[in-house]
Amino acid sequence: MDISKALDVLEKSVKDLRFDYEQFFIGETRMEPAKKRTEIKRILLRMTSTHITNTGQKFRMLSLQATFNSYQRMWDRVLYQIEMGTYKPHILKAEREAEWREEQKVKRSDWEQKLRDRADSGTRSLYNQYMKAREQTNAPGKVSFEGFKSSLEKQRPMLKKKFGGEIGFKITVEDGKVKVKGVKQS
Q: Where are the domains positioned within the chain?
A: 3-86, 99-184
Q: Running DSSP on this structure, what letter comes out for residue 186?
A: -
Quote the mean pLDDT of the chain: 88
Q: Are the beta carbons of 34 and 20 closer than 8 angstroms?
A: no
Residue 71 CB-density burial (10 A; 0-12 exposed, 13-18 middle, 19+ buried): middle
Q: Taking 90 as the threshold, does the pLDDT of residue 36 lie above it?
A: yes
d(Cα 86, Cα 88) in Å, to the nearest integer? 6
* pLDDT mean over 3-26: 95
CA dist list (Å): 12 to 15, 20, 64 = 5, 12, 10
Q: Are the beta carbons of 111 and 165 closer than 8 angstroms?
A: no
pTM summary value = 0.54
| pLDDT one-digit tens code per residue, 159-176 | 888 878 778 888 888 888
Would you state the pLDDT for residue 135? Answer: 87
d(Cα 61, Cα 1) in Å, to the nearest integer? 15
Would you state the pLDDT for residue 186? Answer: 66
Would you state the pLDDT for residue 126? Answer: 85
Would you state the pLDDT for residue 24? Answer: 94
d(Cα 122, Cα 163) in Å, to the nearest integer? 20
Would you state the pLDDT for residue 1? Answer: 60
